[in-house]
């Protein structure tokens, strides 16, 4: 078994156009479905404490990778 993958991104256009990011996320979700390892996506700002608390409470991650530009 692999890991459950959850992606959190605000999808801003600071480094990559928003639409390109949306396409990338959709492709990752499709890849997860093909491999029977669903990927969850939350469009959220990591500086929004209440949203992060809700996501973390719901997902209960055991590991975290922060990949910022």
pLDDT classification of 1: cutoffs 50, 70, 90: low
Q: 51 and 45 in contact (C-beta within 8 Å)?
A: yes
Q: How many CB atoms lie within 10 A of CB 29?
A: 16
Residues 13-69: pLDDT tens digits?
888 899 999 999 999 999 999 999 999 999 999 999 999 999 999 999 999 999 876
Q: Is the pLDDT of residue 11 over 70?
A: yes
pTM of the model: 0.86
């Amino acid at each position: 078994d692999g890991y459950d993958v959850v992606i959190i991104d605000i999808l801003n256009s600071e480094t990559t156009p928003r639409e390109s990011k949306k396409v990338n996320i959709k492709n990752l979700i499709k890849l997860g479905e093909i491999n029977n390892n669903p990927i969850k996506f939350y469009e959220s700002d990591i500086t929004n404490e209440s949203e992060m608390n809700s996501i973390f409470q719901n997902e209960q991650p055991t590991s975290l990778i922060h990949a910022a530009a």
